[in-house]
A and B are shown apart, each in its own frame.
Chain A
Amino acid sequence: MNRRSILKTAAVAVSASTFLSVASLGAWANETLKIGFVGVTSGPAAAWGTSNVRSMQTRAAWLNEMGGVKIGDKTYDIDIVTFDDQKDPKRAIAGMEKMAQEGIHYVVGPNVDDGAAAVRPVAEQNGIMYFPYAFPKELYTAPASNAILGMIANYQSGPAIYKYLKENKGVQKVAFVAANESDPLSQRDGGVAAAKALGLDVVSDNVTYQVDTTDFTPVLTPVIQTMPDLLVLSGVAPANAPQLIRSARELGYQGLISTETAQDATVLQEGAGELANGFISVGGASTPEIASDTMKEFVDRYTKMFGEYNDESNTKVYALEYIIETLKADPAAIDNVDEFKKTMDTFSAPNPYMKGDSKLKYVGMTSFGQKRQVFVPMVVNEFKDGKFETLFIAEVD
């Protein structure tokens, strides 16, 4: 973000808040519904949590501007309470305690495996439902019951992508690389298992890198020598993806490259340019083919508020929507998560961010044996000249 856009953002923020305070001085004042966020918004992984927080703040400001949200017979303004856990599980617990203190029952986050596991006791003791962006199955299978997966897990999208590429692009040999951290390594192991189950030949699956690597050429050299048809960047951080792609292509690699996490088009374009063309990743719902007008307006508002959109928010826009819509369907759930859990089993509402008659509903029976995942269309993208194009769309049940 350059300085000018900061000034602009500041100006918008000031005028918006003036407008809001004037508006709130008006005839009636709504009650406030606090929704929490516990995740990482500083340090190396700041991008993950920041796209969460900004999606939530954008949507909340928009809803409040329209007069608030009507739940039962009361109208609420949405207030987003955020806590930066610095990607430290010990801090994440403190954050969840803060949320409990604020009387919050619905929290988005944390962003990583260790944080999501660490906050579980606090969330269960204090009656908090939380929406982690972490994949370990034990968070979502019984006896755990307070976590709801906020996106699509790699063990769901991976097999779909490999199957598609095997059938349509003739992929036979697959290679995996991952950062030597918990989340990417777990995702790599899941990916390897899925590829083997499909009968693919895994030619390299043990090359790892430090997340702070500045030159990936030495990392990728042995991988490329195994001549794979598909190179999977397991759980790759948006910051590392363009460098990995660039190094692989500059080493003369001709095959396909894919990942199962969400990426940002601008970052790819800046970091790898046309070398990133053909890169396959999983996104949310903003490719032009399927984005509704609401989604387009969301992107506009986000851009106005913060200066620049982040494509990772295509997925992260959903958690807050699910919380609010479920509360609308069952107003008693506003301070009672048992009601929320009951409603989840039958809940269904129109999906405002997608064209057509797509629904918001909870899924996860196949993976977790209970409905503990938000239903988000699995949009598999291909990067092309600075934009994402839809490769295919699949669903999770």
Chain B
Amino acid sequence: MTRNQILGLAVFLLVILVAVPLFIQVTGRWDFYYTLTSVALLSIASAGVWLTFYIGRINIGQGAYALAGGYFSAILITKLGISFWLTLPLAGLFTAAVSVVIGLPILRLRGVYFAMVTLVLTEVARLTALALPVTNGAKGITSIPLPSGIASFSNPKLGFYYVAAILMVIVFAAMYRLVNSRVGHLCRSLQQNEELASSIGVNITYLRVIAYSISSFLGGIAGAMFVAISQSIYPSSFQVADSVNFMLNCFLGGLGYVFGPMLGTLVLYFGWDLLFQTGKFQMLIYSSLLILLMLVLPNGLLSIRMPSAKGGRK
């Protein structure tokens, strides 16, 4: 790590762990905690989608893994009484394992074909959750106890915020390392030309499955965290719209930048919340701004800076 990177990380940590709570304390905008918690968790799931973009796949199926992770955690907690903190990594591992099975056949697909299969996957996940007995079908799983530790916070919002923020920092730090590692460079070669990569001895099948399972792992833990917050899960907790949003977050932030999904999620999610006062014109204004942004910055928000500044450049 260079000095600049350490400095950047320190400033970022300071902002989200000290400055933000301080700001909320001063302004009294307690509702921002949940909004920011959501942004952190959604950006973790979006980071997974971004990673599949990085190997040249358009992934509109992250909602399926978030749902699977959420259900896995909820079932372990309610049926087996396992602590939430243990189910969180387990949910990620579970979805990663599932994604290997699904990924092996479908990762051979490219372009819109892969995109469509993953889109169908989200709907398949919802229908599976409706049909299986263990998920309690249409009635969902409700009244899930708060995680131990969070429950002892006087304000659970604050607890969830810290957990989500720290998770986000870890995930993005790991992503940054990954992208700038040898594997990252190989992944980038997949994005540009798979045949070429294969011909110089890269095991592309292995690499794609690894990237996809990391992506799904992130989806799984994000889903599990949301279940802990809402203390309930239904087959509709993550649906096609969520899958599409995860993808849009990546586009908006910029596909060429590791931190793109974080910024994209912040703008898309916060934007909707900030516009809530506009009542019935909310959607109109929101979508107009989105189109305008796209016209001005078609390569994502981060493309406004010099492209060589940070992260995995395309």
Direct contact of A and B (CB under 8 A): yes
Task: Report A's interface with B, CB cutoff 8 A.
Answer: 41-42, 82-84, 86-91, 93-95, 97-98, 100-101, 112-114, 117-118, 120-122, 125, 136, 138, 180-186, 189
**Bound Cα distance from A87 to B282, whole angstroms:** 15
Please state if A89 and B142 are interface contacts (CB–CB under 8 Å): no
7 contacts between A and B (CB under 8 A): A93-B34, A94-B31, A94-B38, A97-B30, A125-B156, A136-B139, A184-B138
Chain B residue numbers with a CB within 8 Å of A93 are 34, 38, 229-230
**Bound Cα distance from A122 to B33, whole angstroms:** 12
Please state if A181 and B236 are interface contacts (CB–CB under 8 Å): yes
Please state if B234 and A97 are interface contacts (CB–CB under 8 Å): no
Say yes or no: A121-B142 contact (C-beta < 8 A), given A90-B38, A180-B130, A185-B130: no
- Shortest Cβ distance from residue B236 to the other chain A in the assembled complex, whole angstroms: 5
Chain B residue numbers with a CB within 8 Å of A112 are 236
Please state if B30 and A118 are interface contacts (CB–CB under 8 Å): no
Chain A residue numbers with a CB within 8 Å of B180 are none
Task: Report B's interface with A, CB cutoff 8 A.
Answer: 29-31, 33-35, 38, 127, 130, 137-140, 142-143, 146, 155-157, 226, 229-232, 234-237, 241-242, 272-273, 276, 279-280, 282-283
Please state if B30 and A100 are interface contacts (CB–CB under 8 Å): yes
Please state if A117 and B38 are interface contacts (CB–CB under 8 Å): no
Pick from B31, B127, B234, B279: contact of A114, CB under 8 Å: B234
Chain A residue numbers with a CB within 8 Å of B280 are 41
**Bound Cα distance from A136 to B143, whole angstroms:** 12
Given pairs A97-B34, A114-B140, A189-B138, 11 additional interface contacts (CB within 8 A): A89-B237, A94-B31, A97-B35, A98-B273, A113-B234, A117-B140, A125-B156, A180-B127, A181-B138, A181-B235, A185-B130
- Shortest Cβ distance from residue B248 to the other chain A in the assembled complex, whole angstroms: 14
Please state if A182 and B31 are interface contacts (CB–CB under 8 Å): no
- Shortest Cβ distance from residue A206 to the other chain B in the assembled complex, whole angstroms: 11
- Shortest Cβ distance from residue B229 to the other chain A in the assembled complex, whole angstroms: 7
Please state if A101 and B31 are interface contacts (CB–CB under 8 Å): yes
Please state if B234 and A98 are interface contacts (CB–CB under 8 Å): no
The prevalent SS among residues of A at the interface is helix
- Shortest Cβ distance from residue A381 to the other chain B in the assembled complex, whole angstroms: 27
Please state if B142 and A138 are interface contacts (CB–CB under 8 Å): yes
Please state if A117 and B34 are interface contacts (CB–CB under 8 Å): no
Q: Which residue of B lies closest to A114 (CB)?
A: B234
- Shortest Cβ distance from residue A195 to the other chain B in the assembled complex, whole angstroms: 18
Chain A residue numbers with a CB within 8 Å of B137 are 185
Please state if B276 and A84 are interface contacts (CB–CB under 8 Å): yes
Chain A residue numbers with a CB within 8 Å of B140 are 113-114, 117, 182
- Shortest Cβ distance from residue B51 to the other chain A in the assembled complex, whole angstroms: 22
Q: Which residue of B lies closest to A180 (CB)?
A: B130
**Bound Cα distance from A90 to B35, whole angstroms:** 10
Please state if A186 and B273 are interface contacts (CB–CB under 8 Å): no
Please state if B230 and A117 are interface contacts (CB–CB under 8 Å): yes
Chain B residue numbers with a CB within 8 Å of A122 are 34
- Shortest Cβ distance from residue B34 to the other chain A in the assembled complex, whole angstroms: 4
**Bound Cα distance from A341 to B267, whole angstroms:** 40
Residue among A83, A100, A118 with most chain B CB within 10 A: A118
Please state if B241 and A182 are interface contacts (CB–CB under 8 Å): no
**Bound Cα distance from A41 to B284, whole angstroms:** 13
Chain A residue numbers with a CB within 8 Å of B29 are 101
**Bound Cα distance from A220 to B88, whole angstroms:** 43
Please state if B241 and A86 are interface contacts (CB–CB under 8 Å): yes
**Bound Cα distance from A112 to B127, whole angstroms:** 18
- Shortest Cβ distance from residue A376 to the other chain B in the assembled complex, whole angstroms: 24
Residue among B157, B229, B234, B282 with most chain A CB within 10 A: B234
Please state if B30 and A101 are interface contacts (CB–CB under 8 Å): yes
**Bound Cα distance from A94 to B156, whole angstroms:** 14
Say yes or no: A88-B31 contact (C-beta < 8 A), given A113-B234, A125-B156, A186-B138: no
Chain B residue numbers with a CB within 8 Å of A91 are 272
Residue among B35, B155, B276 with most chain A CB within 10 A: B276
Please state if B242 and A88 are interface contacts (CB–CB under 8 Å): yes
Please state if A138 and B143 are interface contacts (CB–CB under 8 Å): yes
**Bound Cα distance from A122 to B143, whole angstroms:** 13
Chain A residue numbers with a CB within 8 Å of B34 are 93-94, 97, 122
Pick from B31, B230, B283: contact of A89, CB under 8 Å: B230
- Shortest Cβ distance from residue A372 to the other chain B in the assembled complex, whole angstroms: 16
Chain A residue numbers with a CB within 8 Å of B234 are 89, 113-114, 117, 182
**Bound Cα distance from A76 to B7, whole angstroms:** 53
- Shortest Cβ distance from residue B163 to the other chain A in the assembled complex, whole angstroms: 15
**Bound Cα distance from A125 to B156, whole angstroms:** 9
Pick from A86, A114, A181: contact of B232, CB under 8 Å: A114
Q: Which residue of A lies closest to B139 (CB)?
A: A186
- Shortest Cβ distance from residue A32 to the other chain B in the assembled complex, whole angstroms: 15
Residue among A41, A121, A181 with most chain B CB within 10 A: A121
Chain A residue numbers with a CB within 8 Å of B273 are 94, 98
- Shortest Cβ distance from residue A14 to the other chain B in the assembled complex, whole angstroms: 15
Chain B residue numbers with a CB within 8 Å of A189 are 138
- Shortest Cβ distance from residue A345 to the other chain B in the assembled complex, whole angstroms: 24
- Shortest Cβ distance from residue B107 to the other chain A in the assembled complex, whole angstroms: 28
**Bound Cα distance from A114 to B232, whole angstroms:** 8
Q: Which residue of A lies closest to B146 (CB)?
A: A121
**Bound Cα distance from A120 to B232, whole angstroms:** 9
Chain B residue numbers with a CB within 8 Å of A125 are 155-157
Chain B residue numbers with a CB within 8 Å of A98 are 31, 273, 276
Pick from A82, A86, A117, A181: contact of B279, CB under 8 Å: A82
**Bound Cα distance from A309 to B280, whole angstroms:** 17
Q: Which residue of A lies closest to B42 (CB)?
A: A90
**Bound Cα distance from A113 to B233, whole angstroms:** 10
Q: Which residue of B lies closest to A125 (CB)?
A: B156
**Bound Cα distance from A120 to B230, whole angstroms:** 8
**Bound Cα distance from A177 to B115, whole angstroms:** 32
**Bound Cα distance from A134 to B180, whole angstroms:** 49
**Interface pairs A-B: 3 shortest CB-CB:** A185-B138, A114-B234, A118-B230
Please state if B241 and A88 are interface contacts (CB–CB under 8 Å): yes
